[in-house]
Structure 1
């Protein structure tokens, strides 16, 4: 088998058609006359730079017994990919975005160069960029693709590898347009498979969610715009068909939620923002590889919409699963005759979870040994970050987690809000009255050993890896009320975590805009004409997560890094127990 990459073969004159990426995969067998080619597509998503095992377990039914196993770790995922590649030389490997961004210290400290290098060693074909790829701006994202050491952020690049090569795989972004009308990266890639005298072309269209500007700091998406996912994908179908493509795969950073397991083809309770996209999508697509929601599923979408006969897949998050998609393609008729998908658990290393339970691998599921070259890359960057990661901050009597409560609060989210208020309460730091924290900014649990244990800086960085700074703004009481009401304008509320100085109650039976009442700040009733100082992170301060009300605050005072606020708060409060989650009362 040989793989040859030809980058930027053609530049088209209008915006929908970006440069394509073409890859050839040949399985030469001159005696083979079967026109059916069996092609494997291996897919993952939302890796978020989890190079080391992320201390996450996956539950699987084995002989009708629910079994929980440890999963994740890029060296283990690389081993699984290599095994599946060896089983079928006709293969493609794709990522559905958020490969980088919101990453643990081992990757984030080095601007995610370690993640790109590790994925290079795996050998993949395409990554459809996700919203978190834009966290550090377009110029830094282009550096991730092209390589080099030009500095675009406050962190210095190339601290470990002075010859950072960039990605050896293609980034795809069909619906991300620059100001000149061209796409930021190629809209699609084509991989050519040959078996004997037969040839099949598979087209991969890549894109991210149109709503990216609502969930990324505005500086991160400056100079680009995001267009309709379905319309963009559909417009590419005749272009790809004209080039002889027999199978179409949409790799998109948008996703769904399900109530069933990762391999339930019925996907009970299927919902999410990808559904309207699927219902508008051209049925010429055979598979939709998705991400963003961090949920795992392998759905036969035709069961939900008979006019849309494609598979819908996601491999969850952090390299804990790998989706193995199999396509049987008739080279003569140029169509897919059979397709299936299965999420494979990437079993890794035993660990003790937040409840003090030891989670161990099982021989009843496939096991993997770390891929040597990928493991070497991880070890190199782990050693480079070890001193900072291992710095002990405090000791806690128990773990503090992101486990949800009926009010929408979590103990860890409230703790972070408390820390941010404490960092900005002094007059010289902003004189904050209370703080609010966005749920999406809390990326990991704070786990200590059963009975209590040490907390190190690496753990805290994994919880808050974005490098956001604290911001304090002045809001009128009326604007505070409007901000709190804005959380409850949807069927699925997006609840901000409040510091202890803010309490209120919610009645979801009331009309939108009239659901929040009994608002108290430091125990006193909210006064509509009064002025309050509110702490948030820099992401929220610029209207992140579609909380545009934050933009209307005045008298801005900047603060420290969010992770530093958490670090200082824990260091000053040894033995701290999880805060209560009763600041919001829901009726």
Structure 2
């Protein structure tokens, strides 16, 4: 959080202008071929054998995206690229993302489509870069209003600051502690957040609207929004206090029946849960035969349980790109899509509405992911929006906090940036308690790489406060607790067993802690017995170790229940401050910090 002096800078009242709905030209990536409806009239034709009434079938354009995470400016490094399959069998990477370009692409895509609706799959805010996160994501909500978003589900990150803050983002008003950032009251979202499976424990009713119906003339499509049932496992306890999260499929089926009773037979589910495609390319053929296609993960089981009444699923959470069909309970293919993350892609889906039945002709549904390329004109209203908020953030964000000699990435089982953050937290912990032994960092808490040639005006290798904020935007504290050696071993096993067996969460470890991970085995056996050492000495099951971890992990988050059982707690500064202090103390313009070697975990595969 900013200091008192910084808050005074941020709270200087600035006049804002309303967002303008400007239309800009652009060229988008090619679409999939349309499926024909044999013997029937298409949109724009008469379905009455020569009459002059509306056609029986009406194509409705559904534009969707997910997991924006407040990335208003083009994301840096690998976070701002997508991989594309080329016709000759090779691949290439494309720079992508940024709301100035996303707005242009969406507005161009809508041209010529009288029936168009835009939806999202959650995590539009939270874990945001400084430009939005410093202002509790008000800038992102304003941008989404300008993008023409019609409806979204909640995601887990919409609960980072709790239910009251989510309600403020929906309804508007100044922040309860920081106040108003400009001389105009924040008006909130123009679109509804849907939270069908998030219940208020006191009332047993959904926290927000469970569904919303889009209608144009006689065409009606219902949207049901849910987030993953396991949200309490990946959000701080304070963020989900007083809330209950229900099963995704059961909830969708419940409200699909309710919509049917109200005469809405065309239904789209917005689900903040996702899958893992076999290919990393955004345009891979997910339904092609062979080992190089298909999707796995939680969304597969959820999709197979969702009623055939639901016609398409827009998903998210895993930050992957896919356009797949997964059979519904009746065995019929149904479209399931995800548009990666950070505004790098959007999905263009055509839903063919049958006016005679009021339902979607699912055999005619077609969909494709499109790249938000940066070779189109920037949307002027988005440029102005970014400029307004950047003027408030710049005095804080542009401050140099360190220097690096090269890119410090956040990918891989063990990442250089993960090691750096763990070292920073151990360094901070030792400043509070010299008996601190080691630090552990969850990979999901590392939101972006540190890049040597970062965007902006700073020189190469300079790390600004804004860049550090983008890496660690959660404002977790660095907590110290005591654990036995046996508990520490159990923590490492929990990376690859229990709640994390299907999708391991490999903790990033501070210097001095080493062990071997055998990925050819399964479950807890993947942590090789006897390989765990601290400063070269085997872990003693009966000894006590002082461990630093962020407050989310220290509370048992991400399935690390044993970390929630520590004793003798001591709360330090926030994790961003720990990183800033470490960078400042261990680097300079003449002696930049080298990327860690990421050699603390030996991988056998």
Give the TM-score category using the shorter length: 0.7 to 0.9
Aligned equivalent of 1:112? 137
For residue 511 of structure 1, report the CA deviation from its aligned partner.
Answer: 7.1
For residue 462 of structure 1, report the CA deviation from its aligned partner.
Answer: 0.6
Between the aligned partners of 1:184 and 1:547, the Cα distance in structure 2 is 28
Between the aligned partners of 1:485 and 1:335, the Cα distance in structure 2 is 49
Picking from 242, 251, 264, the partner of 2:261 is 242
For residue 203 of structure 1, report the CA deviation from its aligned partner.
Answer: 0.7
Picking from 441, 461, 468, the partner of 2:476 is 468
Between the aligned partners of 1:377 and 1:321, the Cα distance in structure 2 is 21
Alignment pair present for 1:433 and 2:458: no
Alignment pair present for 1:281 and 2:306: yes
Between the aligned partners of 1:294 and 1:509, the Cα distance in structure 2 is 26
- TM-score in terms of structure 1 length: 0.87
Between the aligned partners of 2:131 and 2:397, the Cα distance in structure 1 is 8
Report the count of equivalent residues: 530
Between the aligned partners of 2:54 and 2:163, the Cα distance in structure 1 is 48
5+ residue gaps, structure 1? 1-26, 349-360, 362-367
Alignment pair present for 1:377 and 2:385: yes
Aligned equivalent of 1:257? 276
Between the aligned partners of 1:172 and 1:440, the Cα distance in structure 2 is 24
How do 1:135-154 and structure 2 match up within 5 A? 135-151=160-176
Alignment pair present for 1:392 and 2:396: no
For residue 104 of structure 1, report the CA deviation from its aligned partner.
Answer: 0.1
For residue 573 of structure 1, report the CA deviation from its aligned partner.
Answer: 1.3
Instruction: Go from structure 1 to structure 2 and tell me whether the alpha carbon gap of 1:176 and 1:308 turns closer, same or farther (over 3 Å shift).
Output: farther
For residue 234 of structure 1, report the CA deviation from its aligned partner.
Answer: 0.9
Aligned equivalent of 1:13? none
Between the aligned partners of 1:298 and 1:305, the Cα distance in structure 2 is 19
Aligned equivalent of 1:339? 365
Between the aligned partners of 1:111 and 1:231, the Cα distance in structure 2 is 33
Contact 1:283–1:309 (CA under 8 A) maintained in structure 2: no
Q: Between 54-63 and 566-575, report the one with greater CA deviation.
A: 54-63
Between the aligned partners of 2:303 and 2:521, the Cα distance in structure 1 is 33
How do 1:298-317 and structure 2 match up within 5 A? 298-302=323-327, 307-317=331-341
Aligned equivalent of 1:564? 577
Q: Between 577-586 and 99-108, report the one with greater CA deviation.
A: 577-586
Aligned equivalent of 2:108? 83
Between the aligned partners of 1:137 and 1:483, the Cα distance in structure 2 is 27
Aligned equivalent of 2:349? 325
Instruction: Go from structure 1 to structure 2 and tell me whether the alpha carbon gap of 1:257 and 1:157 turns closer, same or farther (over 3 Å shift).
Output: farther
Aligned equivalent of 1:506? 517
Aligned equivalent of 1:178? 200
For residue 162 of structure 1, report the CA deviation from its aligned partner.
Answer: 4.0
5+ residue gaps, structure 2? 1-43
Picking from 178, 182, 206, the partner of 1:160 is 182
Between the aligned partners of 1:161 and 1:245, the Cα distance in structure 2 is 42
Residues 39-84 of structure 1, C-alpha deviations (whole Å, 9 max, x = no match):
0111010000000011312233455364432110012111222222
Contact 1:442–1:463 (CA under 8 A) maintained in structure 2: yes
Contact 1:286–1:309 (CA under 8 A) maintained in structure 2: no
Residues 214-255 of structure 1, C-alpha deviations (whole Å, 9 max, x = no match):
000111000111001111111122211122223110001000
Instruction: Go from structure 1 to structure 2 and tell me whether the alpha carbon gap of 1:419 and 1:381 turns closer, same or farther (over 3 Å shift).
Output: same
Aligned equivalent of 1:582? 599
Alignment pair present for 1:409 and 2:429: no
Residues 395-449 of structure 1, C-alpha deviations (whole Å, 9 max, x = no match):
2211110131xxx2111101100011011113x3463100000000001011013
Contact 1:149–1:162 (CA under 8 A) maintained in structure 2: no
Between the aligned partners of 2:351 and 2:524, the Cα distance in structure 1 is 49
Instruction: Go from structure 1 to structure 2 and tell me whether the alpha carbon gap of 1:543 and 1:369 turns closer, same or farther (over 3 Å shift).
Output: same
CA RMSD of aligned residues (A): 2.1
SS at 1:250's partner residue? strand
Aligned equivalent of 2:557? 544
How do 1:40-51 and structure 2 match up within 5 A? 40-51=61-72
Contact 2:153–2:227 (CA under 8 A) maintained in structure 1: yes
Between the aligned partners of 1:376 and 1:88, the Cα distance in structure 2 is 27
Between the aligned partners of 1:296 and 1:87, the Cα distance in structure 2 is 26
- TM-score in terms of structure 2 length: 0.84
SS at 1:245's partner residue? coil
Which structure: greater strand fraction? 1
How do 1:510-521 and structure 2 match up within 5 A? 512-514=523-525, 515-516=527-528, 517-521=530-534
Picking from 34, 37, 41, the partner of 2:58 is 37
Aligned equivalent of 2:24? none
Contact 2:159–2:239 (CA under 8 A) maintained in structure 1: yes
SS at 2:531's partner residue? strand
Q: Between 508-517 and 567-576, report the one with greater CA deviation.
A: 508-517
Instruction: Go from structure 1 to structure 2 and tell me whether the alpha carbon gap of 1:344 and 1:506 turns closer, same or farther (over 3 Å shift).
Output: closer
Alignment pair present for 1:442 and 2:446: yes
Contact 1:110–1:157 (CA under 8 A) maintained in structure 2: no
Alignment pair present for 1:424 and 2:447: no
SS at 2:313's partner residue? strand
For residue 105 of structure 1, report the CA deviation from its aligned partner.
Answer: 0.2
Contact 2:196–2:251 (CA under 8 A) maintained in structure 1: yes
Contact 2:277–2:286 (CA under 8 A) maintained in structure 1: no
For residue 491 of structure 1, report the CA deviation from its aligned partner.
Answer: 4.1
Between the aligned partners of 2:565 and 2:69, the Cα distance in structure 1 is 32
Between the aligned partners of 1:131 and 1:499, the Cα distance in structure 2 is 28
Between the aligned partners of 1:74 and 1:83, the Cα distance in structure 2 is 14
Instruction: Go from structure 1 to structure 2 and tell me whether the alpha carbon gap of 1:34 and 1:509 turns closer, same or farther (over 3 Å shift).
Output: closer
